[in-house]
Amino acid sequence: HAEAAALAAARAAGSDVRGATAVVSLEPCAHWGRTGPCAVALADAGIARVVFSVPDPNPVAAGGTQVLRKRGVEVIGGVAEASGREALGDWLARQVAPLPGEVGARPQVLVKMAATLDGRVAAADGTSRWITGPAARDHAHGTRARVGAIVVGTGTLLADDPALTARLPDGSLADNQPLRVVMGSRPVPRDAAVRGPGGDLLVLRTHDPAEVLRELSSRGVREVLIEGGPTIASAFLAAGLADELHAYIAPALLGAGAHAISGLGISTITSALRFHIVDVHRLGDDLLVVARPRPPG
């Protein structure tokens, strides 16, 4: 929702955007999800003309051109489309990658893990708080505030009792809260933290990642953060439904305990899931490695 962010920045700077031209790479969205459509936000702000490069390929979000024109906004699309597609890169490619056997875009999937240098996400006694330091945790909360949904399994829910909220450094709730999704067959306790203040709670009685994404797509969710333990993360990876890895690595060693990933069914190095690193951030003493799957071939 870059348009909404740009409008907010203009307001904060005291700029009057009425009568202005908005130039964007992607057609402004027209769908109502956890936030309103960017097309409506532009029209409400008094933008007179919108110039965009690439039509939105997601049928859930497309239609911004029609919304804007009905509101009297001049729209020019397809400007420097080749350059726009190059700029949108992997994001655009993922929008047209449907679920198996289906058509249309699916939500983008970010798989997050926080592990020690030896790849452990918990100690032998099951404790896992806190593997990473405050800077890494603050960064992770920023990602939570950006996505439409955050997913864990019932195993993580029962072991850690996470609230699955997006919080500011002072501990207060961020303005934008993700939909909290619990997948699995075991019931969510009545006093679970996910039933407290924060985003809405959605319980899905399934272990199938594709079914989870299908349900979230029907609700207009475009970006999903997988924060479940090794079982859930491995399920999405094994199904080929992970678009980006966010690996927070702490300079610590445990020597025993749960591994970050398990159960991929890989028995030889030639079958390894390969990724390419797109970014590395130092967060206090920790590192964040952002990686995406290598394209076939």
Are 265 and 122 part of one and the same domain?
Answer: yes
Are 158 and 261 part of one and the same domain?
Answer: yes
Evaluate if residue 290 carries a pLDDT over 70.
yes
Are 114 and 80 part of one and the same domain?
Answer: no
pTM over 0.75: no
The model's pLDDT over 190-206, given as tens digits with 9 standing for 90+, comes to: 999 999 999 999 999 99
Evaluate if residue 61 carries a pLDDT over 80.
no
Are 56 and 141 part of one and the same domain?
Answer: no
* 103 assigned to some structural domain: no
Are 213 and 180 part of one and the same domain?
Answer: yes
Are 25 and 156 part of one and the same domain?
Answer: no
Total domains present in the chain: 2
Min mean pLDDT across 95-109, 160-174, 247-261 is at 95-109
Evaluate if residue 78 carries a pLDDT over 60.
yes
* 32 assigned to some structural domain: yes
Are 84 and 113 part of one and the same domain?
Answer: no
Pairing of strands 201-204, 275-283: unpaired
Evaluate if residue 161 carries a pLDDT over 80.
yes
Evaluate if residue 33 carries a pLDDT over 70.
no
CATH number at residue 34: 3.40.140.10
Of 219, 154, 142, 206, which is closest to residue 182 (Cα–Cα)?
154
Q: Which letter, b or e, does each residue of 127-151 get, where b requires 16 or more Cβ atoms within 10 Å of its Cβ?
A: ebeebbeebbbebbbebbbebbbbb
Average pLDDT, the chain: 87
Q: What is the mean pLDDT of residues 10-26?
A: 93
Burial class (CB in 10 A: 0-12, 13-18, 19+), 80: middle
Are 78 and 117 part of one and the same domain?
Answer: no
Are 40 and 116 part of one and the same domain?
Answer: no
Q: Among residues 43, 62, 89, which one ends one of the domains?
A: 89
Residue with tokens 């920023």: 142
pLDDT band at 103 (very low <50, low <70, confident <90, very high): very low
Determine the pLDDT at residue 228: 76
Determine the pLDDT at residue 95: 61
Catalytically active residues are: 3
Q: What is the mean pLDDT of residues 262-283?
A: 84
Residue 268: how many CA atoms within 13 Å on its side-chain side?
2
Q: 57 Cβ partners below 8 Å, 6+ apart? A: 92, 95, 96, 105
The model's pLDDT over 35-53, given as tens digits with 9 standing for 90+, comes to: 678 999 999 999 999 999 9
Evaluate if residue 34 carries a pLDDT over 80.
no
Strands of the 49-54 sheet, one edge to the other: 21-26, 49-54, 74-76
Evaluate if residue 86 carries a pLDDT over 60.
yes
pLDDT band at 102 (very low <50, low <70, confident <90, very high): low
Are 13 and 143 part of one and the same domain?
Answer: no
**What range defines the domain where residue 169 resides?**
108-293
